[in-house]
Amino acid sequence: MDPIISEKYHTAGTIAAYARDEGAKRIKPDVSLLEVVSFVESCITEKGASLAFPVNIAINDLAAHFTPKDTDDQVFQSGDVVKLDVGAHIDGYIADTAVTIEIESNRYESLLKASEEALEKAILLMKPGVSLSTIGGTVQDIIQRYGFKPIENLTGHSLNRYTLHAGLSIPSVASMGLRGRPKVGDVIAVEPFATTGSGRVISGNGSNIYLINSGLHLRHIRDQRTKQYLSRLKKLFQTLPFSYRWCLPHLTNADSVLQRMSHLGLIHHYPQLLEQNHGLVSQKEHTIIITNEGCEVTTYGTNEG
């Protein structure tokens, strides 16, 4: 990998890790989700990176995909199992990292340990040409040894410049028919999820996170107003996910505009991903770069790695 690009990935990683760890410290009873999300997002931009996606907070049986609206008044509660998923980029070179915190309790310590150890082992195995099914199988074994299930329909993913989900998927189970193997220079977000539930997620309500549909052309849109809105969103967010909150300074009636645009298929509104049997969910995630010998982790915090 070009050393300048590698440096950008590492800088994005250091900033994302710092924002993740500082954000995690602020997750306490009676603190609002909105406060933590705003803190983490400001932390990233103040350090000189850009937001690769809205900060995600997923509590208990919610596995992934949620960011609060500006009007959200939810607060954290003692005993909550909270996933904080953070994305930063420098010039399009993305770091994606997540951690799970159990608030004022150790009841699910082993659930947290399961996804943590699974991630550590997956990172040790990562190298050019490794079978992704072997990695998935190892993740599955570790999580099952702790007495939990891996979530089989959530996977890690490779990253490209300004692209959060590039070609490769990294499973948390041994699975057949996977395409591709990592090669030198690939950048991958590895993120095992462990659960006390059935091991599958289903779609719920809207996440307040959106993505512009890449396959569409402005010239095909007839309504001038809609065209204007869409070109504004494209300029602001390009190919990366964005939140309802981020639209507020740029759109009047953001609610109805976003609803109409997703109804027309111009943008995608991600659904919340809930554990099918309402099991609790833990997740840990790091971004890595595949090297000749193995991999480098870009998102280690000061006490990791």
The rounded distance, in Å, linking the Cα atoms of 270 and 125 is 31
Residue 78: name the closest of 26, 29, 23, 27 by CA: 29
Backbone angle region of 269, left / alpha / beta, with phi > 0 → left and psi within -120 to 50 → alpha: beta
Residue 11 or 266: which CB sits closer to Co ion?
11
Residue 58 or 111: which CB sits closer to Co ion?
58
Contact letters for Co ion, residues 256-295 (x by CB under 5 A): -----------------------------x----------
Q: How far is the CB of 264 from Co ion (least distance, A)?
A: 28
In the set 21, 41, 85, 117, the catalytic residue is 85
Is residue 296 flagged as an active site residue? no
Q: How far is the CB of 20 from Co ion (least distance, A)?
A: 10
Is residue 85 flagged as an active site residue? yes
The rounded distance, in Å, linking the Cα atoms of 75 and 168 is 36
- 85 is an interface residue for Co ion by CB under 5 A: yes
Cα angle 282, 114, 198; round to 5 = 60
- 116 is an interface residue for Co ion by CB under 5 A: no
Own/partner contacts of 2-10, CB < 8 Å, gap of 24 or more, are 5/93, 6/289, 8/90, 8/91, 8/93, 9/90, 9/93, 9/94, 9/95, 9/187, 9/287, 9/289, 9/298, 10/296, 10/298
Residue 138 or 155: which CB sits closer to Co ion?
155
Among the listed residues 21, 41, 61, 96, the single contact to Co ion using CB under 5 A: 96
- 193 is an interface residue for Co ion by CB under 5 A: no
Is residue 120 flagged as an active site residue? no
In the set 21, 41, 61, 96, the catalytic residue is 96
Residue listed under structure tokens 């999580």: 143
Return residues touching Co ion (CB under 5 A): 85, 96, 98, 285
Just list the catalytic residues.
85, 96, 157, 165, 191, 285
